[in-house]
Amino acid sequence: MLKTLLTVALLAYASLAQAVHYDVRLGTSNGPVAGSKITVDFYGDYDLAGKLPVDTQTGYKIFPGYFDDLEGGPRLTDDPGFQSFANTFKYGEEVHFRALGSLSYWDPASASWGSAGAGASVTLYGGIPVNIWLNYMLNPGNASYAAQYNHYAGGTVYSGGGVSGPLTALIDGASQNGTFHSHLDWKLSDAAAAGAYMLTLQVWSPTTSVNGEPKYLDSDPFHVVFKSAGISQAQFDLAFEQRIAVAVPEADTWSMLLLGLGLLTVLGQRRRRQS
């Protein structure tokens, strides 16, 4: 156990200049061909591909997230990002996220999950459609164009009551070799209480095949569980573990990931206070 903790501490310390990197890896079940399903998995500085835990209530995969991390700052983060590798998609094909459900909250006082309270929200900032961006930039005084632009610029907002703003927005488009790597911004509202927050999304593509039908099948939905400032790493571990359906074979690896990210958050906060 001591060796594991020392390893994590060293990883955290060595990563101060650049926080631990982890993404939602997007794939296609049969390659960039019609009928392939978009797949999601873990990709990052820890070997967790194929080892994501599954939520006990929904059966969806779960990714961890940390607000107030080294790269994001107070109530912000840009992890997890989204990444695909060579030949996953064709050049120019876009992938978008779709927001589902509502925001859940883990209360440290009761050590239980429920709906997020009033004033608590998590915003995900996706891309603004090019035509809407251009219309607004060229005609900033046009009220209709401004409203369309602000709808996307305000981001997709998860709350206990559901989702507001754009229900779907751009993640990225594939480069010439079929890859992309994008880190969108996530923000926890100022009024949100300390605790853990969980939201749900899936990935889809507007690309159509020759007959005009969607080329790719939508991904399965998945969750992101975020830790906010104000709760301990042990509390976040408990909140995370309460969502897991079965014991994960690589439990030690997941413990290392959660602890490592937590140490990065603490060390990052100290560095900001000293600067």
- The residue with greater pLDDT, 126 or 233, is 126
Residue 70: pLDDT band (50, 70, 90) is low
Residue 65 makes CB contacts below 8 A (sequence gap 6+) with 77, 79, 80, 186, 224, 225, 226, 227
Residue 111 makes CB contacts below 8 A (sequence gap 6+) with 235, 238, 239
Helix axes 251-274, 233-241, angle to 10 degrees: 140
Q: How far is CA 250 from CA 46, 53, 80, 212, in A?
A: 11, 9, 20, 43
Question: Under DSSP, is residue 61 helix (H, G, I), strand (E, B) or coil?
Answer: strand
Question: To the nearest whole percent, how much of the chain has pLDDT over 90?
Answer: 65
Structure tokens, 218: 């939508």
Closest CA to 205 of 215, 196, 193, 195: 215
Distance between first and last Cα of the chain: 33
E strand or H helix that includes residue 257: helix 251-274
Q: What is the pLDDT of residues 245-257, one digit of tens each?
A: 654 445 555 555 5
Question: Under DSSP, is residue 104 helix (H, G, I), strand (E, B) or coil?
Answer: strand
Question: Under DSSP, is residue 2 helix (H, G, I), strand (E, B) or coil?
Answer: helix
Whole-angstrom distance, CA of residue 25 vs CA of residue 69: 21
Average pLDDT over residues 132-148: 94
pTM for the model stands at: 0.83
Q: What is the pLDDT of residues 180-231, one digit of tens each?
A: 999 999 999 999 999 999 999 999 999 998 788 999 999 999 999 999 989 9
Question: Under DSSP, is residue 217 helix (H, G, I), strand (E, B) or coil?
Answer: strand
Which residue segment(s) compose the domain that 74 sits in? Answer: 2-274
E strand or H helix that includes residue 14: helix 2-14
Residue 10: pLDDT band (50, 70, 90) is very low
CA 76 to chain centre: 12
Q: What's the confidence (pLDDT) of residue 273?
A: 39
Which segment of 26-35, 71-80, 262-271 scores lowest on mean pLDDT? 262-271
Domain count across the chain = 1
Q: What's the confidence (pLDDT) of residue 265?
A: 45
